[in-house]
Amino acid sequence: MGLKQKFNKQFGNPVGNLGRFVGWLMSIKNRDRAKWTIEKLNLKPTDYILEVGYGSGASLKVVADQLTSGFIAGIDHSAVMLDQAIKRNRENIKSKKVDLKCGTVWDLDYPKEYFDIIFGSNVHFFWEHPTEEFQKLRSFLKRDGRLIMVFQPRWTKSEEQVKQVAEKTKLQYEDAGFKNIDFSFKPMKPVTCIYIGGQK
């Protein structure tokens, strides 16, 4: 595997020193997408939230700081990202407002119907079977709870391809049992960003 391939692979699962650098790089390069993601959450200070793929923990901290009696959990399969996120969220972890785990969707052990919102950014297209993961996440949502994914399909070559990716994700939401599905687009470098939300 060439150096470029090794570097690109880190974005799916950061490991080692290179992974730590990639985590820092993502927290810088993804600020616009992270800001839009948080806007789309329409947070209430009492919400119980799960972030899937918290990365460096930057977005998670912004959300946590807006919560009063609410709570945010996070799961990410990278131990390197767990370390970065813990450092960034140390105070909120101490106060029990934040709970971070290392693992995948299948390792989640929270009670069913526990969260008001579950969200992720640039995560679901790394999954082998997104519809099944969406179904699993749906089981953790309260009635009328929302699943939100915001992502940039960087492999696309045209706006038409971006729309096709959005439609494909919408179908995966439908197959997973979500209703009131909506999506929107926002121009962003290096490629248009997609928001898609659905209700349990």
- pLDDT at residue number 4: 46
What's the pTM value of the predicted model, to 2 decimals? 0.86
H or E segment to which residue 66 belongs: none
pLDDT tens track for 101-160: 999 999 999 999 999 999 999 999 889 999 999 999 999 999 999 999 999 998 999 999
Residue 2: pLDDT band by 50, 70, 90 thresholds?
very low
Set out the domains of the chain in order of their start, with CATH numbers.
3-199 (3.40.50.150)
Q: Which of 21-25, 49-53, 66-70, 104-108 has the lowest mean pLDDT?
A: 21-25
- pLDDT at residue number 6: 44
pLDDT tens track for 168-177: 999 999 999 9
Q: Which residue has the higher pLDDT, 14 or 164?
A: 164
The 3-state secondary structure of 178-198, one letter per residue: CEEEEEEEECCCCCCEEEEEE
Q: Give the neighbor-by-neighbor strand order of the sheet with 71-76.
A: 98-102, 71-76, 48-52, 115-121, 141-151, 193-199, 179-186
Q: What Rg, from alpha-carbon coordinates, does the chain have?
A: 16
